[in-house]
């Protein structure tokens, strides 16, 4: 059995990177250096010129080369709220993914302009639920006479169009930290919950937080007629889960949890609720990104943690908590490939373009879509 490899204070559970290296991708935490050695200086210069007119937001999963320039780091909704509160910032550079920049545009004023440094930075989970697919599912529920008693609850990791559908149909948005509150609210308003797009967060919330049974939940597959379900299954379900998942969190397995406990006596397993149900059940602590950070930060010195979330964040946790041993739960899972598209060259290009008087990659949400999405977000903010 190979010994763990060390990257700073981050301990990876085995080497396991030969195949990745052959493909030009590193799972050992080593990122290729930017081709232009002057990029850091250029970023600083452009940032200084823009001054208070610019705000750079960095999601926790961003590369260190980008996060070093963030005025604020956080999860998607926290960052979007911060942009709205900084009305003096005319240009919002959102270093995250597309749905996050959409949320920022929805919440900010018309005078603010939201920029996504690389338009290819999407979210595979958000893309798993299109507006047409969700509309088709809702039509089936209307046909069966259950739509009027079904409340949509949509995870923040969704497109503006899906948030808009939610607002228009009496539902609310949730984050990973308030999903339980959102789902309880929905059951106070109706008999069923239509949870999308992340099946794992929905299932874990319904079963582990609300006490429902697994059989109370059905999985709607948008690629099959009527979701691949019988009419009776749809009518009987308490929670209708959309078949979506996070491409990073969904890969952690029970075998990972077992292996790390066998390998490291006394290690605590800390995972995100987007992980599979059996992984969440087997973990010691489950929480949102912000809670994961808080848990490690406040843990006793000398404690050991195997963390099941995105690798950029786990590396940062290890570097910022040198008095603890921080392990990555699965050596075969790399960075979030879409989030990782935002790199220093793209950020510098976006900054310098604005300095030159040209706004690039601006994210604008249609006002009708934005209106109903805003309604859904306001319902979330009003949750007890």
For 142, the 3-state DSSP assignment is helix
Q: Are residues 147 and 233 in the same domain?
A: yes
pLDDT of residue 128: 96
Query: How far, in Å, CA of 173 to CA of 106, rounded?
Result: 13
146 and 216 part of one domain: yes
From residue 79, give the alpha-carbon distance in Å to each of 105, 108, 217. Answer: 11, 11, 32
Do residues 117 and 50 share a domain?
A: yes
Same domain (yes/no): 118, 131: no
- How far is it, in rounded angstroms, from Cα 233 to Cα 217? 9
Q: Same structural domain for residues 156 and 237?
A: yes
Q: Give a yes or no: residue 111 inside a domain.
A: yes
Does one domain contain both 317 and 348? no
Which residue pairs, CB below 8 angstroms and at least 24 apart, start in 166-172? 166/372, 166/373, 166/376, 167/371, 167/372, 167/373, 167/374, 167/375, 167/376, 167/377, 167/379, 168/372, 168/375, 169/138, 171/376, 171/379, 172/376, 172/379, 172/380, 172/383
| Residues in CB range of 300: below 8 A, 6 or more apart | none
d(C-alpha 99, C-alpha 122), whole Å: 7
Q: Which residues pair with 155 in a beta bridge?
A: 174
Residue 24 inside a domain? The answer is no
**pLDDT for the residue numbered 234:** 98
| One domain for residues 215 and 144 | yes
Bridging pattern class, strands 5-7 and 10-12? antiparallel
Number of domains in the chain: 3
The answer to whether residue 371 is domain-embedded is no
Same-domain pairing of 84 and 109: yes
> Residue 115 is part of which domain span?
37-122+339-366
Q: Does residue 295 sit within a domain? A: yes
Confirm whether 261 is domain-assigned.
yes
- Of the residues 186, 213, 246, which one is the last residue of a structural domain? 246
pLDDT of residue 21: 32
Domain-embedded: residue 379: no
Residues 319 and 230 in one domain: no
CB 134 within 8 A of CB 194: no
Residue that finishes a domain, picked among 197, 225, 246: 246
For residue 30, being part of any structural domain is answered with no
Q: Based on the number of CB atoms within 10 Å of its own CB, is 322 exposed (0-12), middle (13-18) or buried (19 or more)?
A: exposed
Q: What is the rounded CA–CA span in Å between residue 138 and residue 142? A: 6
Give me the residue label for tokens 């299954």: 233
What's the distance, Cα to Cα, between the start and end of the chain in Å?
Answer: 51
C-alpha dist (Å) from residue 15 to 27, 29, 31, 252, 264: 9, 11, 16, 17, 16
* Closest C-alpha to 136, from 248, 203, 228: 228
* Helix/strand/coil for 361: coil
Residues 147 and 91 in one domain: no
In a domain, 187, yes or no: yes
pLDDT of residue 329: 94
List the chain pLDDT tens, one digit each, 384 residues: 333 333 334 544 433 333 233 323 333 444 446 667 789 999 999 999 999 999 999 998 898 999 999 999 988 888 989 999 998 999 999 999 999 999 999 999 999 999 999 999 999 999 999 999 999 999 999 999 999 999 999 999 999 999 999 999 999 999 999 999 999 999 999 999 999 999 999 999 999 999 999 999 999 999 999 999 999 999 999 999 999 999 899 999 999 999 999 999 999 999 999 999 999 999 999 999 999 999 999 999 999 999 999 988 999 999 999 999 999 998 776 678 778 889 999 999 999 999 999 999 999 999 999 999 999 999 999 998
Residues 60 and 158 in one domain: no
Q: Tell me how many degrees the CA angle 15-337-130 measures, rounded to the nearest 5.
A: 140
Q: Which of 195, 228, 246 lies at the terminal end of a domain, its last residue?
A: 246
Residues 363 and 183: their CA atoms lie apart, in Å, by 30
**97/194 same-domain check:** no
Query: Which residues make Cβ contacts (< 8 Å) with residue 280, sequence separation at least 6?
Result: 200, 204, 208, 271, 273, 286
Half-sphere exposure of 342 (CA within 13 A, CB side): 36
CATH classification of the domain holding 50: 3.40.50.10800
């Amino acid at each position: 059995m190979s010994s763990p490899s060390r990257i700073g204070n981050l301990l990876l559970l085995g080497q396991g990177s030969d195949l990745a290296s052959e493909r030009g991708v590193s799972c050992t935490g080593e990122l290729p250096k930017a081709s232009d050695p002057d990029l850091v200086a250029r970023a600083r210069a452009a940032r200084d010129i823009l001054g208070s007119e610019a705000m750079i937001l960095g999601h926790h999963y961003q590369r260190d080369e980008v996060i070093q320039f963030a005025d604020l780091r956080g999860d998607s909704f926290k960052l979007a709220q911060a942009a709205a509160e900084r009305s003096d910032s005319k240009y919002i550079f959102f270093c995250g993914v597309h749905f996050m920049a959409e949320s920022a545009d929805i919440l900010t004023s018309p005078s603010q302009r939201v920029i996504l440094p690389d338009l290819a930075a999407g979210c595979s989970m958000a893309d798993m639920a299109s507006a047409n697919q969700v509309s088709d599912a809702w039509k089936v529920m209307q046909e069966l006479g259950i739509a009027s008693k079904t409340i949509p609850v949509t995870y923040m990791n969704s497109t503006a169009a899906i948030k808009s559908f939610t607002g228009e149909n009496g539902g609310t948005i949730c984050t990973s930290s308030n999903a339980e509150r959102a789902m309880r609210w929905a059951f106070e308003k109706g008999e069923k919950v239509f949870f999308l797009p992340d099946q794992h967060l929905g299932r874990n919330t319904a079963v582990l937080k609300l006490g429902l049974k697994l059989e109370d939940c059905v999985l709607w597959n948008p690629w099959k007629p009527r979701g691949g379900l019988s009419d009776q299954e749809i009518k009987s379900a308490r929670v209708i889960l959309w078949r979506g998942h996070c491409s990073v969190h969904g890969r952690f397995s029970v075998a990972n949890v077992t292996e790390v406990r066998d390998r490291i006596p006394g290690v605590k397993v800390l995972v995100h609720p987007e992980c599979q149900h059996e992984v969440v059940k087997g973990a010691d602590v489950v929480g949102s990104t912000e809670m994961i950070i808080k848990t490690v930060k406040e843990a006793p010195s000398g404690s050991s943690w195997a963390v099941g979330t995105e690798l950029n964040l786990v590396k940062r946790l290890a570097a910022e908590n040198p008095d603890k041993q921080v392990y990555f739960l699965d050596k075969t899972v790399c960075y979030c490939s879409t989030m990782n598209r935002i790199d220093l060259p793209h950020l510098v290009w976006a900054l310098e373009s604005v300095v030159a008087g040209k706004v690039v990659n601006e994210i604008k949400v249609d006002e009708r879509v934005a209106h109903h999405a805003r309604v859904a977000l306001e319902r979330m903010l009003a949750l007890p």
